[in-house]
Every structure is written in C-alpha cells, then in structure tokens.
C-alpha cells in the first residue's frame, strides 16, 4: 500500500503498527487505513483487507472520525451516522472497540480542543469506566495528545469539560484541584479557577494564532495560560469580610506547574 501511495503524495509510516499510513498532499494529511478485525481465536486486532467497510468503521474511535472517502467516486461513506454528529458537534464512540485503547479518551479531549465538540452522555459513561487504565498508558502517548491540544486547540474550555465529564480530569490532579476554589466576583465573574483557566487558555490560543506561533512556541503559550493559576488551589482564602483573596498564588504556583 505504501508503494502505491507514493504516487499520490509523501507517505509517513508512523502508524504502520496500526495499519495506518499518513499521506501528505496539497498541504493536508490523509489517513489511509487497512481495516482491522479481532481474530476469531481472540487477541489483538490484525489487518484484514477483506473486512467490510462496516467492520472497519466500527473499529474507529468516534463516529465523526469513522467517515471514509472514496477518491474514485468522490463520495463520503458513512455507516455509523458520523456526518450528522459531525454537524451537531457530538463525540460518540462507534462501539465496544473504543475501550480497547483507553488513550481514546484523551484523543476525544484533543478533538474537542481543536473542533469544539461535546461528549455524548453514553460515551462519557464509558470513558469513566476506563479511568483505571490510565496508569498503564505510556507517558509519550499521553503527552502526544496534550501536545496536539496545545499546538492546535482553540477550545480549551470545551476540552476541560470533556475531561471533567469523563472523570479524566483526575489524571491531572493539579488542574482538578482548580475545580471549586472560588474567585472574587468583582474581578472574576466567570466563576471558579478552573473556568478562569480554560478561558485564559482559549484567549491565549487566539493570540498565539494571531502572532503566527506554531509548534512548541504555541504549546508554551497555551499551556502557560492554562496552568498560570495552579497556585490558587492552595492559596485561595475566604476572608471574614466576605472577600476572596489568593495572596502568594503566583509564586506558590511555580512548583505545581513544573
């Protein structure tokens, strides 16, 4: 397949282990995948070019990400209702195969950061059941999803909502602790510190794009904004006069950010 695709564009075999090749053409990346199925004897999925389009689609993570394109007929093939949910901005898992790779929860948050999705209730429930598997995920794969979020995302508030609904906000305890601590409504009418942090990251993403930042430079700006108030989890106080203060939170936030 790689040999055939060289005639179409530049081929990147980074996903070869998952029977996926990336092809760059006209400035965009195309995923070209061989269908995978679970052998009747059990075990890990294997590539099977004879598998049906339906089988292939149901092994994808979310319905909006299970759309296929036929370049010969120029038709979009949708066997799982992905077009409608793409229009509605809903992330819904395609089926039980979603649970085979718990990293897909973080991928859903990453998609949300980039495209502003919301999580279907039944998918949130499934994600919560996968939380115990987080500790077994390789750190480089986890960082890969966060890196894409920081390099490409413009809807960090929506991504935080997905993490909260799925229970996976707990995988970043420094951020989870920001859910609840109040802020002085005179200066922060938006709500608690987590809400403020998401909005700050949203604004940082827009400013970074306006400045033409990409890659690590953009990631630093967006993550810096997202994490800038971690110190408030420890330093926020409700004073006797009714005011809410967080004196010392800037300096106190350095260690948790690091």
* Predicted local confidence at residue 39, as pLDDT: 77
How far apart CA 106 and CA 132 sit, in angstroms, is 14
**DSSP label at residue 68:** E
* Predicted local confidence at residue 109, as pLDDT: 97
Phi then psi for residue 77, to 5 deg, are -100, 120
Please check whether residue 37 is in contact with residue 59, taking contact to mean a CB–CB distance below 8 angstroms: yes
Please give the sequence-ordered ranges of beta strands (E in DSSP) within the chain, or none if there are none: 10-12, 20-25, 28-33, 36-37, 46-47, 68-70, 75-77, 90-91, 118-119, 237-238, 244-245
* Predicted local confidence at residue 157, as pLDDT: 97
CATH class of 49-100: alpha beta
* Predicted local confidence at residue 48, as pLDDT: 84
> Taking the domains of the chain in order of start, what are their residue ranges?
1-34, 49-100, 102-258
**DSSP label at residue 144:** H
How far apart CA 92 and CA 88 sit, in angstroms, is 11
**Two tokens at 121?**
């209730």
* Predicted local confidence at residue 160, as pLDDT: 97
Specify the residue for token string 């979020």: 149
pLDDT tens per residue, the chain (258 residues)? 889 999 989 999 887 777 889 999 888 888 888 888 777 777 777 888 888 889 889 988 999 999 998 888 999 999 999 999 999 999 999 999 999 999 999 999 999 999 999 999 999 999 999 999 999 999 999 999 999 999 999 999 999 999 999 999 999 999 999 998 887 888 888 889 999 999 999 999 999 999 999 999 999 999 999 999 998 978 778 888 878 888 888 888 899 999
């Amino acid at each position: 397949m790689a040999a055939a695709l060289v005639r179409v564009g530049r081929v990147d075999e980074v996903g070869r282990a998952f029977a996926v090749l990336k092809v760059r053409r006209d400035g965009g990346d195309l995923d070209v995948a061989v269908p995978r199925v679970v052998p009747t004897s059990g075990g890990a999925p294997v590539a099977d070019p004879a598998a049906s389009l339906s089988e292939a689609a149901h092994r994808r993570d979310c319905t909006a990400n299970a759309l296929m394109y036929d370049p010969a007929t120029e038709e979009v093939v949708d066997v799982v209702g992905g077009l409608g949910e793409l229009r509605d901005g809903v992330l819904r898992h395609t089926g039980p195969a979603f649970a085979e790779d718990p990293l897909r929860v973080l991928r859903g948050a990453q998609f949300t950061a980039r495209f502003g999705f919301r999580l279907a209730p039944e998918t949130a429930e499934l994600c919560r059941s996968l939380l115990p598997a987080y500790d077994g995920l390789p750190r480089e794969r986890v960082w890969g999803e966060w890196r894409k979020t920081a390099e490409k995302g413009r809807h960090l508030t929506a991504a935080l909502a997905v993490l909260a609904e799925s229970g996976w906000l707990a995988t970043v305890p420094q951020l989870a602790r920001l859910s609840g601590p109040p802020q002085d409504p005179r200066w922060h009418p938006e709500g608690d510190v987590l809400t403020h942090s998401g909005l700050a990251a949203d604004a940082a993403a827009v400013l970074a794009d306006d400045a033409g930042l990409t890659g690590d430079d953009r990631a630093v700006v967006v993550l810096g904004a997202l994490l800038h108030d971690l110190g408030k989890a420890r330093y926020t106080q409700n004073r006797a006069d009714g005011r809410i203060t967080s004196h010392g939170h800037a300096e106190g936030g350095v260690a948790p950010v690091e």
